[in-house]
Amino acid sequence: KKIVIVGGVAGGATAAARLRRLDETSKIVMFEKGEHISFANCGLPYYIGETITDREKLLVQTVEGMSNKFKLDIRNLSEVIDINRNNNTVTVKDLRTGEQYEEGYDQLVLSPGARPIVPPIPGLKEANAIFTLRNIPDTDRIKSYVDHKNPKRAVIVGGGFIGLEMAENLYERGLYVTIIEMADQVMAPLDYEMASIIHTHLKDKGINLILSDGVKSFEDEGKKVVTQIGKEIETDMIILSIGVRPENELAVRAGLNVGERGGIQVNEYLQTSDPTIYAIGDVIEVKDYINEQPTMIPLAWPANRQGRIVADNIYGKNVRYNGTLGSSIAKVLDYTVATTGNNEKTLKRLGIPYQVVHLHPGSHAGYYPGASPIALKLIFDKETGKIYGAQAVGKDGVDKRIDVIATAIKGNLSVMDLVDIELAYAPPYSSAKDPVNMAGYVAT
Ligand code: FAD
């Protein structure tokens, strides 16, 4: 049996390793158009900010190391440019030589990810120091610019996860940072009142936060950013972080079904509309775990989980992917922001009735030093107690509470059950009634 994988980072590399563990004899070929495979995408902003100082640590696996360890045929700098479904082959372009060839497959796994959106903003092409961040070469470009050109000011376009992580890391490098966000809030998975805690924090730190305004043009070769309402911001560098778009071109050309937002459609076994072709990761449309609507959730947990499931299914295990909850977390300077499940905005849009409770428990016992409040929001169905989602913002203990609630959701626990989760307690860590228990008490 021969399995071909397109994309050698989160989803692709996970699938390859699991496939080999399940079967020692299959031929497994993994194509990656970039130079690096299996690198730590999520660590890239922290290398630019110099919290991570060793570049090698970002390279989780090398082509040679992973090929030997798992007996894989890994070809980097090799772009799959076509899928030929009539004869079960892919056309590959060797980016070193420009040569093209065909490679046959019995089963094909697509994990090409998603790329940063770059809208045609006037002046973009003429701008010198404008960057997007997806991979190691992007990271090297940004870091080298910060290291050698001594920029004093940066404009971040887009206040999502990557935008805020870059804002933090450039701030840590001593730059004066402006964030421009079209919506009235940063961090779309949060509801407005939760995001506003972060708005205040960013401003307190001296970050220039511009909300409800977008970029109209870049002027003076990118030295000036002009916004829709006419603000002018002088800058030495620009980061575009306004979201990602699925790399669906191969799939579209091959006639595979894609959804409204371009995500490849798959069934619960992660098969595309061609049953010999599977797709995983940022490129697919997933079912929202809470509301069951199709959505796109480009995060590392789903890509890794799907990578493993796809390998299991290729070996006949029939494992289902039940949808994505969208649990996510980010560090924003002194704060941590985390969410799981649906927010109010989504439930409202879908017309799903819900109840909300807000509470502000301490991260641990108040009499033990270092406790700080957590703003915790729990959203649920009043009748059944079904938990729809939770959001938390605070300086400490946020990750644990959201992870417990995410676990509760996956375990089908209701808000009534939250009071009964017996959690570990000692004063440095929690209270005898943990914030998650408290949320249950307040909700019921
Ligand atoms: P990727 O990991 O992007 O891999 C796809 C690979 O396929 C790419 O290397 C690409 O070059 C290759 N490829 C594409 N087309 C072809 C082709 N035709 N031929 C050959 N190769 C091809 N998620 C989190 O959950 N938490 C985080 O903290 C977090 N931080 C992030 C920070 C940054 C800066 C970035 C960029 C992403 C972050 N993510 C985070 C998102 C996470 O990295 C992605 O969800 C995950 O990597 C998706 O996996 P994937 O396999 O679908 O795509």
* Catalytic residue list contains 427: no
Return the best residue to mutate from 6, 42, 340 for the ligand 1 pocket (most ligand atoms within 8 A of CB).
Answer: 42
What does residue 63 show for φ and ψ, rounded to 5 degrees? Answer: -60, -45
296 torsion bin: left (phi>0), alpha (psi -120 to 50), beta (else) = beta
Whole-model pTM over 0.95: yes
Sign of CA pseudo-dihedral 296, 243, 254, 312: negative
**Given the residues 2, 26, 35, 42, the one annotated as active site:** 42
Predicted local distance difference test score (pLDDT) of residue 19: 98
ipTM of this model? 0.99
> How far away, in angstroms, is 282 Cα from ligand 1 center?
7
Q: Which amino acid is at 400?
A: K
- Of all helices (H) and strands (E), which one includes residue 286? strand 286-287
Q: Which residues line ligand 1 (CB under 6 A)?
A: 6-7, 9-12, 31-34, 41-42, 44-45, 79-80, 111-113, 133-134, 162, 247, 250, 281-283, 298-301, 303
Return the best residue to mutate from 4, 36, 41, 169 for the ligand 1 pocket (most ligand atoms within 8 A of CB).
Answer: 41
Predicted local distance difference test score (pLDDT) of residue 362: 98
- Of all helices (H) and strands (E), which one includes residue 149? helix 136-149
What does residue 225 show for φ and ψ, rounded to 5 degrees? Answer: -115, 125
Predicted local distance difference test score (pLDDT) of residue 201: 98
Predicted local distance difference test score (pLDDT) of residue 432: 96
Strands 107-110, 2-6: pairing is parallel
- The DSSP string of 59-105 is B-S-HHHHHHHHT-EEESSEEEEEEETTTTEEEEEETTT--EEEEE-
| Residue whose structure tokens are 């729990």 | 378
**Radius of gyration of the chain from Cα atoms?**
23
Predicted local distance difference test score (pLDDT) of residue 40: 96
> How far away, in angstroms, is 269 Cα from ligand 1 center?
21
Q: Would you say 263 and 296 are in contact if contact means Cβ atoms under 8 Å apart?
A: yes
Closest residue by Cα to atom 3, ligand 1, is 113
Ranges of residues in the chain whose predicted pLDDT is under 50: none
Predicted local distance difference test score (pLDDT) of residue 294: 98
End-to-end CA distance of the chain: 55
